[in-house]
């Protein structure tokens, strides 16, 4: 029994147990249960406001959980926060450098607190910060340079776990590619990588497993293949009509293609399993009343994810959009 | 505890590159230089006489410099998000507060040392005698004043999530404990006399009013502590009627100042410990 427990501690990088955070009436994280294994690259996906940053802030000890608990590398996030932080590398959300310190000084600063002696130049080289900037004050850096610097400080002390909060924000495509390469090479050397993103392509490209957070709770967790195979998606659409036919909600809901149907004023809302059925619904309603407008609803995260994962890159109104979750 | 030294070192490195801060410090040094020069070139220059003016300038100006140098120490990091970098490292929040106090305190100490050295240079050139004991006492007591105002500013900064709150609270503290405490006619002491004496009709002695208003004001405690330099025996302008109660003696003023260094610092640590960095 005891061996099993030890084994579990050894194998897991992050465990959250019914982790909850409330801000007044707002429940930012709502009973989150999640396990990240050691050595994996774990993508933490969700729209802005889903609770990603709040979760990470609790893991780092910036916020105290309202209830529930979490541990990182076996260390409790509340009681062992300092020990925990010596063993991880963090790229904090919206990293902002000290305006009057140079890149070298930032890396040395992190080394000083972590009580290790980092090879400053090797780290700055590794994250691709141009050499001319090393001795310049970071106040003049671009957003992309700041992110590279942040990554260099995260790598100080060869951490067992890298915790990257929106690492690609502010990076150009080349920077994002560099970031992916670095994540892969860190993973190959055995480092666990946990990173959050609201950009699907980011996560898909490097992650072993993905969690999708919505409204403070997991809406999906698994490998990409799991999610491709198993995710039940909803495709929302709305029709604005001249006059709502009586009982239309009920009769629509009886159709095989329709999961739910609701009526509100002169708007009929339906959720479908497959976007291909949209035209059938339009025809069905058109036979019964005049349609004023077909409203393309913002797709839910899962639908968006599903559509991207299936290789389609067309949105409902035919315009190509980046695979960025904007739900 | 090594993280305290690391934080202090890097914070000092960051803050000493601030031009605005150097400007404020230069202002204080310039005031002091002007005072030592003007008194030194007047009729019969005397170090104690000059220090009397120096205490006046220091009481009004140096707390303001201390506040300017410290009020953003933590609140500024929270507003600009740099605190996320700092707290992502294995640094305790208490070490952050302590490190900031050491760094900003050191900066103010450097300003004081420069001002005193400039003063000493003028004394050597223009005055008949150096009076090293008086100068040393002035330096030591002023260090306590610096400690008190830096500590309070750091504490307020630690309890403030934004720059605007930090500046509002530190300036309010300055006005109440400095301007409104050391200027006698319109002072916290006069207000206390009015409330306790006139309204509540309590028969409180003059000494006790003085003691009470001193305990709540590091600036006043500093001014009263300089009795160690300007004792009635060697300084004509100071006259004390009768015996002083213990709570107005220099040693007690030093205790008050030390309390103003320690208590706010502890409160600041607790405030940051409990803060939610969202």
Per-residue pLDDT band for A314 (boundaries 50, 70, 90) equals very low
- All residues of chain B having their beta carbon less than 8 Å from the beta carbon of residue A94 are 81, 84
In a domain, B53, yes or no: yes
**Domain tally, chain B:** 1
Torsion of CA B84, B89, B95, B97, to 10 degrees: -10
Report the residue from A86, A100, A106 with minimal CB separation from B18.
Answer: A100
In a domain, B278, yes or no: no
pLDDT in tens, B31-89: 999 999 999 998 889 999 999 999 999 999 999 999 999 999 999 999 999 999 999 99
In a domain, B236, yes or no: yes
At residue A271, φ and ψ (nearest 5 deg) are -120, 130
- CB contacts < 8 A (A, B): 82
Hey, of A92, A101, A103, A106, which one would you mutate to test binding to chain B, going by the most B CBs within 10 A of its CB? Answer: A92
Report the residue from A98, A109, A113 with minimal CB separation from B90.
Answer: A113
Look-up: residue for tokens 């607790």? B270
pTM: 0.82
Distance CA B40, CA B125 (A): 8
Per-residue pLDDT band for A4 (boundaries 50, 70, 90) equals very low
Does A148 score more than 60 pLDDT?
yes
- Rounded CA Rg of chain A: 23
In contact, A214 and A301? CB cutoff 8 Å = yes
Put simply, whether A63 touches B (Cβ < 8 Å) is yes
The three-class DSSP label of residue B97 is helix
Report the residue from A94, A96, A115 with minimal CB separation from B2.
Answer: A115
> What distance in Å separates residue B55's CA from the closest CA in chain A?
34
Put simply, whether A136 touches B (Cβ < 8 Å) is no
- Whole-angstrom CA distances from B213 to A166, B131, B142, B147, B193 are 53, 31, 19, 19, 10
Mean pLDDT of chain A: 84
> What distance in Å separates residue B271's CA from the closest CA in chain A?
14
The three-class DSSP label of residue B225 is helix
Look-up: residue for tokens 């302590």? B98
Residues 6+ apart with CB under 8 A from B100: B7, B8, B11, B70, B73, B74, B154, B157
Report the residue from B2, B82, B89 with minimal CB separation from A98.
Answer: B82
What single-letter DSSP state applies at residue A99? T
Distance CA A177, CA B172 (A): 51
- Chain-centroid distance of CA A297 in Å reads 22
Please name the residue of chain A whose CA is at the shortest distance from the CA of residue B10. Answer: A109
Hey, of B8, B72, B84, which one would you mutate to test binding to chain A, going by the most A CBs within 10 A of its CB? Answer: B84
Range of the domain at B86: 2-273
Does A300 score more than 80 pLDDT?
no
pLDDT in tens, A78-128: 999 999 999 999 999 889 999 999 999 999 999 999 999 999 999 999 999
Distance CA A58, CA A69 (A): 9
Report the residue from B80, B90, B278 with minimal CB separation from A57.
Answer: B278
In a domain, B212, yes or no: yes
In a domain, B193, yes or no: yes
Length of chain B: 278
In a domain, B7, yes or no: yes
**Taking the CB of residue A211, how many other CB atoms lie within 10 A of it?**
25
User: Angle at the Cα of A207 (from A121 to A4), degrees rounded to 5?
Assistant: 100
Please name the residue of chain B whose CA is at the shortest distance from the CA of residue A57. Answer: B278
- All residues of chain B having their beta carbon less than 8 Å from the beta carbon of residue A112 are 3, 6, 9-10
Helix and strand element counts for chain B (H, E): 13, 0
Query: What is the mean predicted confidence (pLDDT) over A282-292?
Result: 88
At residue A141, φ and ψ (nearest 5 deg) are -75, 150
Residues 6+ apart with CB under 8 A from B153: B66, B67, B69, B70, B71, B73, B104, B170
Torsion of CA A103, A109, A112, A118, to 10 degrees: -20
pLDDT in tens, B5-32: 999 999 999 999 998 899 999 999 999 9
Position with higher pLDDT, A2 vs B175: B175
Hey, of B90, B92, B100, which one would you mutate to test binding to chain A, going by the most A CBs within 10 A of its CB? Answer: B90
Give the strands of the sheet with A209-214, arranged side by side.
A88-91, A161-165, A192-197, A41-45, A209-214, A217-223
């Amino acid at each position: 029994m005891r061996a099993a427990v030890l084994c579990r501690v050894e194998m897991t990088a992050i465990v959250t147990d019914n982790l909850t955070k409330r801000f007044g009436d707002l429940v930012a994280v709502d009973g989150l249960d999640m396990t990240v294994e050691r050595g994996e690259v774990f993508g933490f996906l969700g729209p802005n406001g889903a609770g990603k940053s709040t979760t990470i802030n609790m893991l780092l000890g910036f916020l105290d959980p309202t209830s529930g608990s979490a541990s990182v590398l076996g260390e409790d996030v509340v009681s062992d926060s300092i020990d925990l932080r010596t063993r991880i590398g963090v790229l904090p959300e919206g990293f902002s450098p000290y305006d009057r310190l140079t890149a070298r000084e930032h890396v040395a600063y992190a080394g000083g607190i972590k009580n290790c002696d980092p090879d400053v130049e090797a780290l700055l080289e590794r994250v691709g910060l141009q050499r001319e900037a090393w001795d310049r004050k970071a106040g003049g850096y671009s957003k992309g340079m700041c992110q590279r610097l942040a990554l260099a400080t995260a790598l100080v002390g060869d951490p067992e776990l890298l915790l990257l909060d929106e690492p690609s924000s502010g990076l150009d495509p080349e920077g994002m590619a560099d970031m992916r390469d670095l994540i892969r090479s860190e993973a190959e050397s055995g480092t666990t990588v946990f990173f959050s993103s609201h950009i699907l392509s980011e996560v898909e490209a490097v992650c072993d497993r993905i969690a999708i957070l919505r409204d403070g709770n997991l809406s999906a967790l698994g490998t990409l293949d799991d999610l491709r195979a198993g995710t039940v998606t909803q495709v929302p659409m709305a029709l604005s009509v001249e006059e709502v036919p009586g009982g239309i909600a009920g009769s629509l809901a009886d159709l095989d293609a329709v999961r739910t149907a609701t009526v509100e004023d002169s708007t009929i809302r339906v959720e479908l399993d497959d976007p291909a059925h949209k035209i059938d619904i339009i025809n069905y309603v058109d036979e019964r009343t005049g349609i004023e407008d077909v409203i393309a609803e913002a797709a839910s995260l899962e639908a968006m994810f599903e559509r991207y994962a299936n290789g389609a890159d067309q949105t409902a109104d035919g315009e190509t959009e980046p695979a960025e979750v904007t739900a | 505890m090594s993280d305290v030294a690391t934080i202090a070192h890097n914070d000092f490195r960051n803050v000493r590159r601030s031009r605005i801060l150097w400007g404020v410090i230069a202002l204080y040094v310039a005031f002091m230089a002007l005072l030592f020069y003007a008194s030194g070139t007047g009729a019969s220059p005397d170090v104690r006489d000059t220090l009397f003016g120096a205490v006046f300038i220091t009481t009004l100006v140096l707390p303001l410099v201390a506040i300017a140098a410290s009020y953003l120490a933590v609140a500024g990091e929270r507003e600009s998000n740099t605190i996320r970098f700092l707290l992502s490292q294995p640094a305790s929040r208490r070490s952050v507060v302590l490190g900031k106090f050491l760094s900003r305190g050191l900066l103010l100490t450097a300003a004081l040392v420069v001002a005193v050295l400039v003063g000493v240079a003028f004394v050597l050139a223009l005055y008949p005698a150096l009076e090293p004991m008086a100068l040393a006492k002035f330096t030591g007591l002023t260090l306590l004043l610096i400690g008190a105002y830096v500590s309070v500013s750091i504490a307020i900064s630690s309890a403030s999530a934004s720059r605007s709150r930090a500046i509002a609270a530190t300036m309010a503290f300055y006005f109440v404990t400095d301007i409104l405490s050391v200027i006698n006619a319109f002072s916290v002491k006069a207000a206390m006399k009015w409330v306790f004496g006139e309204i509540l009709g309590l028969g409180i002695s003059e000494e006790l009013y003085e003691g009470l208003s001193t305990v709540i004001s590091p600036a006043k405690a500093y001014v009263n502590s300089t009795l160690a330099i300007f004792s009635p025996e060697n300084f004509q302008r100071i006259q004390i009627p009768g015996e002083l109660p213990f709570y107005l003696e220099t040693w007690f003023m030093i205790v008050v100042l030390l309390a103003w260094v320690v208590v706010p610092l502890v409160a600041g640590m607790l405030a940051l410990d409990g803060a939610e960095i969202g």
